[in-house]
Amino acid sequence: MDKPRGRVYLDPLNGRFTVGTFKDLEQEKITPAEGITLHFWNDDADEAGNPDNLIFEGVIHFDETLGRWYAVIDKSSYRHESDEQPSR
C-alpha cells in the first residue's frame, strides 16, 4: 500500500517527528502548530505479510527544551487501513 492520502508519517513507538514526517507535512501543505490534531500513518502488515498501514490520530506539541516536534497519540484511534475499506 502507498502512503494514505491526507495522513502524515509518524513512528508510533516514540511519537517524534522524523524527516519522513516533515516530508509528508510539506506534501499535505500542513504547517505544524501547537495543539493541532493530525492524522498519521505508519507502514505495517497483516498476518499474511501483506501491506496494511497502521493509521491513527494525535495532537502535536513542540518541546522547546529539545527543540523538536512530537505527537501525543490517541491510543484508542489505532486501526489498520484495511479496517477503513468497505467489505466486498
Cell of 73: 497519540
Look-up of cell digits 517527528: 17
Per-residue pLDDT of 49-67, as tens digits, reads 999 999 999 999 999 999 9
Per-residue pLDDT of 5-57, as tens digits, reads 889 999 999 999 999 999 999 999 999 999 999 999 999 999 999 999 999 99
Q: pLDDT at position 55, please?
A: 96
Q: Please tell me the distance from the alpha carbon of residue 22 to that of residue 9, in angstroms, as a whole number.
A: 8
16 in a structural domain: yes
Q: How confident is the model at residue 87 (pLDDT cuts 50, 70, 90)?
A: low
1 in a structural domain: no
Q: How confident is the model at residue 81 (pLDDT cuts 50, 70, 90)?
A: very high
How many independent structural domains does the chain possess? 1
Q: What is the pTM assigned to this prediction?
A: 0.89
Residue numbers of the domain that contains 73: 8-84
Cell of 82: 484495511
> For residue 41, which of 57, 61, 62, 18 has the smallest C-alpha distance?
57
Q: 17 pairs with which residues across the strands?
A: none
Q: How many CB atoms lie within 10 A of CB 81?
A: 16
Q: Please tell me the distance from the alpha carbon of residue 71 to that of residue 60, in angstroms, as a whole number.
A: 4
2 in a structural domain: no
